Amino acid sequence: MTRPLILALGNDLIGDDAAGLLAAREVQRHSANPVDVVETAAGGFALLDHLEHRTHVLILDTIVTGARPAGTLVEMTPEELGSVPGSSPHTAGLPETIALAHRLEIPFPSVITILALEIAPAMTIGAPLSPEIAQALPSMAHRARAIIDSWYASG
């Protein structure tokens, strides 16, 4: 196992969209095991640069489905996130990025776990965290640490 990577996605200028970044910082401060953290506002194929040559990656992000209350923590595998979609109007999503890596035989993580907080659409620059997300952040960080620890425990 290479040193686990936490890939935190989000934009720290836009309120709840920053949840993944904030949780990642919290994990890095308190994790018992060494972990690399990359924060990025990029998406799609830009993520390949971070995922390549890793074995274990934990993605911390937010999710907007409208189907769950804001602050709900969701844990998924990439497969559960969805099959390869059609090309999006603007950029490629994570499933497409993973499919591309497999197709091109790019050395890619064998374990990817996605941990996401359900948020309401975040559209205001400079907005603070909503109370629901602020309250949910510790549980996100706690679960992230547990995942990292379990990877170390299983070697």
> Of the two residues 40 and 149, which places its CB atom closer to another protein in the complex?
40
- Binding-residue pattern over the window 39 to 78 for another protein, x denoting contact by CB under 8 A: -xxxxxxx-xx-----------xxxxx-------------
125 binds another protein (CB under 8 A): yes
Instruction: Give the CB-side neighbour count of residue 146, counting CA atoms within 13 A.
Output: 8
Tell me, what amino acid is at 106? Answer: I
CA 32, CA 27: separation in Å to the nearest integer?
9
The least distance separating another protein from the CB of residue 131, rounded to whole angstroms, comes to 18
**Interface stretch with another protein, choices 22-30, 38-46, 128-136, 139-147 (CB under 8 A):** 38-46
Interface with another protein (CB under 8 A), residue from 28, 36, 81, 134: 81
What is the phi/psi pair of residue 42, to 5°? -80, 170
Question: Are the beta carbons of 5 and 56 closer than 8 angstroms?
Answer: yes
